[in-house]
Chains A and B, each alone.
Chain A
Amino acid sequence: AQSVTQPDIHITVSEGASLELRCNYSYGATPYLFWYVQSPGQGLQLLLKYFSGDTLVQGIKGFEAEFKRSQSSFNLRKPSVHWSDAAEYFCAVSNNNDMRFGAGTRLTVKP
């Protein structure tokens, strides 16, 4: 069955430090992969997506993600975190018939 795992429920980083949020998926073929961000009380905003091609994907707000087929991973990275990045981050996979989200990683940014 299709599934998405975000191993880290909560991560705290200092402002200016680098960030990596982990995402692993289980699926028979390479699905469409997404990272979304959700601020409190808001809907989801797409950060980036991977369909095919270059495995390093650039997104908005300085985020990037790397697709590693051998590890079934799609980790999100940012070289320098800003206080405004504090939010909940969701990894998602889709095969056009279904959409599955990970449980989310809550990011806290220390000043």
Chain B
Amino acid sequence: KAGVTQTPRYLIKTRGQQVTLSCSPISGHRSVSWYQQTPGQGLQFLFEYFSETQRNKGNFPGRFSGRQFSNSRSEMNVSTLELGDSALYLCASSLGALGETQYFGPGTRLLVL
């Protein structure tokens, strides 16, 4: 089975712009979660989608949003980028619940200038 894939792998944006990141889960997985990883804050949970619905949400501002398509692929959008949004964004997929084993993609490294 192919693993979780994320595109693009690297991205450079400037403050104020918006960005969309994509995640393709493992075939058959219906849950997709997003995480932000920074040196200062570590790994933080952004949100989880299941069957095209946001099921759980972390403590991030509304500039961070996402969606999931009928094929379980997910996108994450960050609007009005700030310097502090520079991070590694990780996507993970699982069969069902958030507490089940999650399989992580390689991440998208976003640099905001």
- Total number of A-B contacts with CB less than 8 angstroms? 51
User: How far, in whole Å, are A99 and B104 apart by their CA atoms in the complex?
Assistant: 13
Chain B: residues with Cβ within 8 Å of the partner, total of: 22
Of all chain A residues, the one with the shortest Cβ separation from B44 is A101
Q: Are A43 and B99 CB-contacts (below 8 A) given A98-B45, A103-B42? A: no
Q: Which residues of B contact A92 (CB under 8 A)?
A: 43
A46 within 8 A of B: yes
Beta-carbon contact of A94 and B99 below 8 Å = yes
Q: Does A90 contact B (CB under 8 A)?
A: yes
Q: Give the contacting residue for A46; candidates B35, B56, B99, B101; CB below 8 A.
A: B101
* B98/A43 in contact, CB under 8 A: no
Verify B42–A43 contact, CB threshold 8 A.
Answer: no
- A49 in contact with B101 (CB, 8 Å): yes
| CB <8 Å contact, B104 and A43 | yes
The size bracket of the interface on A is 20 to 34
- B43 touching A96 by the CB < 8 A rule? no
Residue from A36, A43, A49, A97 in contact with B106 in the complex, judged by beta carbons closer than 8 Å: A43
Contact A96 B98 (CB under 8 A): yes
> With an 8 A cutoff between CB atoms, is A110 at the interface?
no
